[in-house]
């Protein structure tokens, strides 16, 4: 028999993956052009030319050792590139010794949580949030403490303060946010930092940042390193370079973190013992060359605006996202029932309950323009069925 808690997790499953599989089922019946699948944030843009050129050059290189083991913290050249990049954007002297190359942001977060959690320690998560956070915390015998954000999906610092206990070890922040697309501004980050520094024990800030380069509406994403003290950045190039399948990222401890030296060593150790051993060698070297490249953000913004107009014109209320890859409109009924109703129109959405924020639904706009435009009729039909717009 398998472990009881894994059996329970298998039974509950992931709403995102369930909708993804439902999309595959519907596509097999009606054809891919007749199904409008907004369920999963799988970037459809190809990597920038700098990445493709780096891959080509490295693949044809006569250099030896490109695919060999390296230090568990990663290739020194890759860590130097990350430290230099972070120093530029934060204005702080980030040293490569504080950087650990990881298997994506998920690998980084698990290494960090393993490093800081004792059994029963609490981690505050701000709803709505990426549901895998709960599994990551559970992986290391921690306890997730869910705190709802305000009506605009910004952190409710009064609620955060009320949730802090003697066992609070960390808080996870994600800006731009999945699923809301909200960016936390500098004032919010400063207030959060002061709240945590005022406590009688150290509380780590784990900043999950796979969308940090994806900002719209003339907005920019404030540097977490510049605005938060005891922060550990967990980053992935899955979105910024369209490399989700390559699983390449890093964890970086702030030079202002009270436990910087010991924590940096612990993350490297945990990166090894959790089974990753080290981040993918080849793509560490790709990143060394292409770290300042970026996907076509303007393309994503265009599609965001296109989908936003379609959804709001169909009668749905939605806060326009400032970043990430998602819209998060209000559902006109129970969000799970609403998603099931949308599927009858070949429209695949993810219930807000999948992010512990019932009453909403998520739409990933990193899909083709053809899919977005094709969905307009289906959205209007759904909106009409709820009386949101005239029939």
Domain ranges of the chain: 4-47+296-385, 49-290
pLDDT of residue 10: 75
User: Within 245-334, where are the H helices?
Assistant: 260-273, 281-290, 297-313
Write b or e for each residue in 214-252: b if 16 or more Cβ atoms lie within 10 A of its Cβ, otherwise e: bbbeeeebbbbbbbbebbbbbbbbbbbbbbbebbbbbbb
Q: How far apart are CA 25 and CA 278, in angstroms?
A: 37
**CA separation, residue 23 to residues 28, 189, 307 (Å):** 9, 38, 19
Closest CA relative to residue 79, chosen from 67, 92, 55, 97: 97
SS3 109: helix
* Residues contacting residue 149 through CB under 8 Å, at least 6 positions apart: 126, 127, 128, 155, 156, 180, 182
pLDDT of residue 34: 76
Residue 342 Cα to chain centre, angstroms: 25
Q: Do domains 4-47+296-385 and 49-290 have the same CATH topology?
A: no
pLDDT of residue 128: 98
SS3 123: strand
pLDDT of residue 391: 77
Specify the CATH number of the domain 49-290. Answer: 3.40.640.10
pTM: 0.95
Q: Extract the residue ranges of the chain whose pLDDT is less than 70.
A: 11-20, 22-23, 26-27, 29-32
Structure confidence by residue, pLDDT tens digits, 85-120: 999 999 999 999 999 999 999 999 999 999 999 999
Looking at beta carbons, which pairs linking 223-226 to residues 24 or more positions away fall under 8 Å?
223/89, 223/90, 223/91, 224/173, 224/175, 224/189, 225/86, 225/89, 225/90, 225/92, 225/94, 225/252, 225/254, 226/89, 226/90, 226/91, 226/92
CATH top class, domain 4-47+296-385:
alpha beta
pLDDT of residue 299: 97
Q: What's the sign of the alpha-carbon dihedral 174, 316, 21, 48?
A: negative
pLDDT of residue 127: 98
Structure-token pair, residue 65 = 């050792």
pLDDT of residue 31: 67
Q: How far apart are CA 211 and CA 204, in angstroms?
A: 21
Structure-token pair, residue 306 = 């296109």
Tell me the three-class secondary structure of 334-361, residue by residue.
CHHHHHHHHHCCCEECEEHHHHCCCCEE
**Contact between residue 152 and residue 182 where contact means Cβ atoms under 8 Å apart:** yes
């Amino acid at each position: 028999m398998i472990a009881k808690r894994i059996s329970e997790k298998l039974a509950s499953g992931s709403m995102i993956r369930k909708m993804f599989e439902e999309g595959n089922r519907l596509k097999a019946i009606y054809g891919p052009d007749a199904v409008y699948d907004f369920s999963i944030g799988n970037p459809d843009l190809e990597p920038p030319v700098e990445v493709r050129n780096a891959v080509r050059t490295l693949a044809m290189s006569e250099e030896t050792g490109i695919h060999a083991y390296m230090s568990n913290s990663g290739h020194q050249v890759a860590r130097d590139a990350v430290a230099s990049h972070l120093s530029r954007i934060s204005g702080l002297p980030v040293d490569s010794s504080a950087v650990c190359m990881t298997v994506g942001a998920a690998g980084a977060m698990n290494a960090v949580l393993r490093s800081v959690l004792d059994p029963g320690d609490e981690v505050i998560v701000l709803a709505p949030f990426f549901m895998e956070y709960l599994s990551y915390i559970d992986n290391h015998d921690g306890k997730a403490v869910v705190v709802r954000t305000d009506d605009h999906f910004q952190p409710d610092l009064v609620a955060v303060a009320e949730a802090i206990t003697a066992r609070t070890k960390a808080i996870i922040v994600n800006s731009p946010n999945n699923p809301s697309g909200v960016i936390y501004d500098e004032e919010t980050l400063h207030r959060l930092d002061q709240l945590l520094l005022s406590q009688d024990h150290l509380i780590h800030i784990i900043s999950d940042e796979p969308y940090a380069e994806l900002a719209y509406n003339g907005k920019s994403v404030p540097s977490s390193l510049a605005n938060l003290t005891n922060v550990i950045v967990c980053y992935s190039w899955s979105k910024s370079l369209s490399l989700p399948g390559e699983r390449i990222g890093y964890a970086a401890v702030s030079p202002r973190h009270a436990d910087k030296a010991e924590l940096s060593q612990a993350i490297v150790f945990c990166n090894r013992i959790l089974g990753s051993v080290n981040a993918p060698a080849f793509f560490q070297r790709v990143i060394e060359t292409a770290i300042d490249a970026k996907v076509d953000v303007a393309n994503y913004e265009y599609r965001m605006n296109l989908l936003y107009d379609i959804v709001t014109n169909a009668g749905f209320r939605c806060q326009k996202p400032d970043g990430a890859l998602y819209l998060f409109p209000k559902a006109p009924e129970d969000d799970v029932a609403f998603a099931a109703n949308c599927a009858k129109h070949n429209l695949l959405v993810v219930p807000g309950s999948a992010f512990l924020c019932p009453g909403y639904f998520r739409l990933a706009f990193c899909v083709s323009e053809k899919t977005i435009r094709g969905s307009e009729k289906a959205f209007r039909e759904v909106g009409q069925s709820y009386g949101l717009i005239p029939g």
